[in-house]
């Protein structure tokens, strides 16, 4: 049984080192942007706990606790197996909720659709010349963005003017001047 623990610990440490040095290069990204959310029959999105980072954490802790329990504390084999198993499950559960679920929730918050941009108010930060492009700044989803912009009717829009985004294609916002309302 001791060799199982050593093998798991060695594999886990090797996996961690490879992940650290290769990261997302060569397709070895263990924190991929696809976190495996699937919509169940109940209409609720479920995230699979079977992710490389969770599995790697379980294997490493399982092996490490087995080695420590056997070599340092000389714990009986069956009791040690239960301790190693429970320790691995606890750490894997913590990694799942702290890393995977958090990343999945944040992934959903950072996606902006073209529909969300329409009717968004922005500021011209680089003048938009007649029939040309300039740059605007706008806030959506609690983040500030910049974008290349052109005027819908081809007119010049000065720096500092307020504009409304009416369309967004090919990474260029189409804007109109925001009408001034005097009450």
DSSP per-residue letters across 99-165: IIIHHHHHHHHT---HHHHTT-EEEEEE-B-TTSEEEEEEEETTEEEEEEEEETT---B-TT-EEEE
Of 58, 86, 109, which residue sits at a domain end? 109
**Bridge partners, residue 137, by sequence:** 123, 146
Q: How do the pLDDT tens digits run along the chain, 183 residues long? A: 899 999 999 999 998 888 878 765 444 444 444 444 554 444 455 788 888 889 999 999 999 999 999 999 999 999 999 999 999 999 999 999 998 888 877 665 556 677 778 999 999 999 999 999 999 999 987 788 899 999 999 999 999 999 999 999 988 999 999 988 776
| 91, 171: one domain | no
| 120, 88: one domain | no
Joined tokens for residue 105:
């929730």
Are 180 and 148 within 8 A, CB to CB? no
Of 57, 87, 109, which residue sits at a domain end? 109
Q: Is residue 181 part of a domain?
A: no
* Residues 6 or more apart in contact with residue 24 via CB below 8 angstroms: 31
């Amino acid at each position: 049984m001791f060799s199982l623990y050593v093998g798991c610990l060695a594999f886990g440490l090797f996996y961690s080192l490879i992940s650290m040095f290769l990261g997302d290069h060569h397709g070895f990204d263990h924190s991929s942007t696809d976190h495996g959310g699937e919509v169940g029959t109940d209409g609720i999105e479920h995230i699979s706990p079977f992710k490389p980072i969770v599995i790697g954490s379980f294997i490493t802790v399982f092996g490490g606790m087995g080695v420590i329990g056997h070599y340092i504390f000389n714990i009986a084999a069956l009791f040690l197996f239960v301790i190693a198993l429970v320790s691995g499950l606890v750490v894997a559960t913590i990694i799942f909720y702290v890393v995977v679920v958090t990343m999945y929730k944040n992934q959903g918050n950072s996606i902006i659709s073209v529909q969300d941009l329409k009717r968004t108010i922005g500021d011209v930060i680089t003048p938009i010349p007649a029939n040309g492009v300039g740059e605007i700044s706008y806030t959506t989803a609690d983040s500030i963005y910049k974008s290349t912009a052109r005027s819908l009717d081809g007119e010049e829009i000065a720096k500092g003017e307020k504009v409304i985004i009416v369309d967004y294609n090919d990474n260029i916002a189409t804007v109109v001047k925001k009408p001034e309302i005097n009450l």
